[in-house]
Amino acid sequence: MAQKAMIQDNTRCIGCRACMIACKEWNDLGADETDFFAGDGYQNPRDLDANNYTLITYSEKPEEAEWVFGRLLCMHCVEPACVSACPTGALSKSDLGSVDLNKWRCIGCRYCVQACPFVVPKFDFGTPLPEIHKCTFCADRLAADLAPACATVCPTHAIDFGDRDEMLAEAKRRIADAPGSYVPHVYGEEEVGGTNVFHLSSVPFEKLGYEMGLPKEPLPNLTHKILRFVPSVFFTLLSVFGVMAWIVRRRMTRMGIAEDH
Amino acid sequence: MPDGRPFGSLGWALVTVALIGAGYTLVRFAFGIGAIANINNAYPWGWWVGFGVLSFIAFGGCGFTIALLVDIFGLHRFQPFVRPAITMGLLLYLGYVVILMIELGRPWMGWIIFFSWSPTSALFEVAWCATLYTTVLMIEFGKVAANHHQWRRVARLLGVIYLPAVVVGVSLSHIHQSSLGTLLTIIPLKIDPRWWSEILPFTFLLTAYMAGLSLVTIEHVLVTRWLRLTPRVELLGSLARIQVWLIAIYLVLRVGDLLYRGATDGLFRFEWLTMSLWAELVLGFLVPLALFAIPDLRSRMWPLFATSCLLALGVLLTRLNTAVFGVEVRHFESYVPSLGEFATTSGVLAGIVLVYGFLVQRLPIHSEEPLAGAADPQPVATSRVSESYS
């Protein structure tokens, strides 16, 4: 099955937040009690949480008194750090491209929260029965051959959904067709080895508060290149230490030293 | 207390600390982690993992380090340290399990880690190895208890599996002590480049050896003084000679890695984190290296004790710098450890000291001779050790 992907074209976003509402409806999420906060971004609520799997961010262009929008959601990395980090297999990457979470298997270690370069998974710190919360890519809708809820409601076609190859080509086509309207960068094409959500923007992505300076190499490689030696190192140590201990014990017995530990 | 030292004010202080920790734990289970801890979605680990997991396990490394010297390398002169090291190692690993139960969001699901297969996760690796190693420590400690209480069958069984268990345990320890470093390699963007490195598995293993040997030295000095036994200063000096090599290798690796990666920006800027780096490298490792390298100081108990304390603090600081202070996530939240995080870890630590104090009086853990000229030698279990050693 072809991997699916989404385009988030921030140049087309008008900040109506229909995507957020569609997400809440489909995933049956409640409302937050919020406060206004000052700082980078004027969105409300401030960040993703248990009730908001996606969020439109509001940032002001410094000199022009004009709003630019961005969107937070799980990037559904091609090689997700969270999936690689999860010790219980509660997180997995599906054939369709979604990063799936089986909440029941979760032990609440928060390694996924720690590992995610986009700071997406959210843990409940305020309840004795916590869970991890994050965008599902509407995997249940994907299974029924439907697009994710957010992609179906966007009134300005800022969100597109389709096969990953086509979406990537489409994103590049838009930049090529209107070079003045876009910064020449498909965010998500190469970040941490590529993602299944591509972002486009008219202003540099750091102005939207996106995570910058991400390596092109998938993050799981960093641990894999160490962990893959573990079995062979373990059995090497076991045999070397075993032989040494045996020699030591035999020498002791020969010398007639009573063994006692 | 029937035999042994009176339960003094230090004992009551420890009980108080443990009870405060227990109180915070109740609040945590009633209202959630956020009720007692400042960790958040940008800083999800903090003090609990930096201190309660990474540092407890480092010092719990005393068990495998001494076992490596005695049973694998055959340096039998260190035999007197085996039992204290095993007992402290076991208690620290059990303490780590207690902290995990507090720190994990869904501890009731913890069992699932043994029925899943996630070899790509360093945490999976650590969980399996640490559990198996704790079992090994129980076997090793069980042998001490079984011998003492004359449970002959148990003692014979444990005697047979003891050496294989040691070999497996030492191997497992090398794997999970280094995997604790591997755990952090997946977050290069969140750890200050002065601490994030691909050689974290090696430096974590080396600092675990050092933490283990330092703890053995500290324990030996304190307990022999407490129970009025003759300290084996010469042996402690031998441990210090090993430490000289360990610290030297560590510093070459650590400083070489800093230079190789060019992570030396702002090394002379006047800021808190930079000073923490200098404190770690100079006070925590370089000064202990210099002090341990002086033969005269190596033959005296209190310099050995003080230097071991300094090195132990160095190991602690490098772990905290790596996993707590040096973590910076450019997001909305910030993080400073809370009182509840300190109280729970301190509570577990106090519990460990209490149980160790209890065990060391009742089991033949120390085999030293009573201090000559001690006015009133305490009738402790050590008197029985000489029998079992003869």
- The pLDDT tens digits of the residues spanning A158-170 come to 999 999 999 999 9
B304, burial (CB in 10 Å: exposed 0-12, middle 13-18, buried 19+): buried
Which chain A positions have a beta carbon within 8 Å of B106's beta carbon?
A: 106-108, 129-131
B104–chain A Cβ distance below 8 A for any pair? yes
**CB pair distance less than 8 Å for B32 and A215:** no
pLDDT at position B2 = 40
Which pLDDT does position B385 carry in this prediction? 43
Which of A104, A115, A128 minimises the CB distance to B29?
A128
Q: Closest-CA residue in chain A for B25?
A: A128
The conformational region for residue A73 under phi > 0 = left, psi -120 to 50 = alpha, else beta, is beta
Q: What pLDDT score was predicted for residue B246?
A: 98
Are B239 and B213 in contact, with CB atoms under 8 Å apart? Answer: yes
Q: What pLDDT is stored for residue B265 in this prediction? A: 78
Count of pairs with CB atoms under 8 A, one residue in A, one in B: 188
d(CA A84, CA A114): 12
pLDDT at residue A257, as a whole number = 64
Q: Give the phi and the psi of residue A67 in degrees, each rounded to 5.
A: -85, 140
Q: Is B67 on the interface with A (CB under 8 A)?
A: no
Predicted local distance difference test score (pLDDT) of residue B376:
53
Instruction: Name the percent of chain B lying above pLDDT 90.
Output: 83
Q: What is the pLDDT of residue B333?
A: 86
pLDDT of residue B389: 38
B111, B118, B338: best to mutate for the A interface, most A CBs within 10 A: B118
Q: Looking at the partner chain, which of A124, A211, A238 has a beta carbon nearest the beta carbon of B168?
A: A238
B198 to A222: CB separation less than 8 angstroms, yes or no: yes
The DSSP letter of residue A258 is P
A166 vs chain B: nearest CA distance in angstroms? 30
Minimum CA–CA partner of A259 in chain B? B389
CA distance B2 to chain A (A): 27
- Chain B residues in contact with A247 (beta carbon < 8 A): 74
Q: Out of A106, A114, A121, name the one closest to residue B187 (CB).
A: A114
Burial of A176 (0-12, 13-18, 19+ CB in 10 A): exposed
Report angle CA A188, A143, A153 to the nearest 5 degrees: 65
Q: Are A109 and B41 in contact (CB < 8 Å)?
A: no
Determine the residue of chain A that is closest to B46 in CA distance.
Answer: A114
pLDDT of residue A38: 64
DSSP H stretches of helix in chain B: 9-31, 46-47, 56-60, 62-67, 82-103, 122-148, 152-185, 200-226, 233-260, 272-278, 287-292, 295-298, 301-320, 339-362, 385-389
- Nearest residue of chain A to residue B199 (CA atoms): A226
Parts of chain B with a pLDDT under 70: 1-6, 373-390
A144: Cβ contacts below 8 Å, ≥ 6 apart: none
ipTM of the complex: 0.91
What would the two tokens of residue A15 be?
Answer: 């900040």
Backbone phi and psi for residue A56, each to the nearest 5 degrees, phi listed first: -85, 125
Confidence band for A64, pLDDT divided at 50, 70 and 90: confident
Q: Which of A104, A119, A230 sits opposite B42 (nearest CB)?
A: A119
- Residue B117: per-residue pLDDT: 87
Minimal Cα distance from B42: which residue of A?
A119
Put simply, whether B387 touches A (Cβ < 8 Å) is no
- The DSSP bridge partners found for residue A55 are A72
Tokens of B196: 């994030």
Q: How many C-beta atoms lie closer than 10 Å to residue A177's C-beta?
A: 9
Return phi, psi of residue B349, to 5°. -60, -45
In chain A, the percentage of residues whose pLDDT exceeds 90 is: 82
A245/B32 touch (CB, cutoff 8 Å), yes or no:
no
Cβ of B167 and A238 within 8 Å? yes
* Mutate: best of A91, A111, A112, A114, partner B, most B CBs <10 A: A114
d(CA A121, CA A4): 21
Chain A residues near residue B32 by CB distance under 8 angstroms = 124-128, 130
Shortest distance between the Cα of B232 and any Cα of chain A, in A, equals 18
pTM flag (> 0.95): no
For residue B373, what pLDDT is reported?
A: 66
> Are B74 and A242 an interchain contact pair (Cβ–Cβ within 8 Å)?
no
Antiparallel, parallel or unpaired: β A91-93 and A55-61: unpaired
**Which has more pLDDT, B268 or A46?**
A46
- CA-to-CA distance for B89 and B112, rounded, in angstroms? 25
Return the residue of A nearest to B172 by Cα: A234
Based on its alpha-carbon atoms, the radius of gyration of chain A, rounded to whole angstroms, reads 24
Q: Do B162 and A261 touch (CB under 8 A)?
A: yes
pLDDT at B375: 54
Q: Is B45 on the interface with A (CB under 8 A)?
A: yes
Chain A residues inside the 8 Å CB shell of B331: 47, 119
Is B122 near chain A, with CB under 8 Å?
yes
* Cα(A24)–Cα(A32) distance, integer angstroms: 11
Q: Which residue, A85, A66, A88, A67, is CA-closest to A77?
A: A85
pLDDT bin (cut points 50, 70, 90) of residue A219 is very high
- Average pLDDT of chain A, as a whole number: 92
Interface of B with A in 123-142 (CB under 8 A): 123-125, 127, 140
CB contact under 8 Å between A261 and B82, yes or no, is yes
Strands A132-133 and A122-123, bridge-based pairing: antiparallel
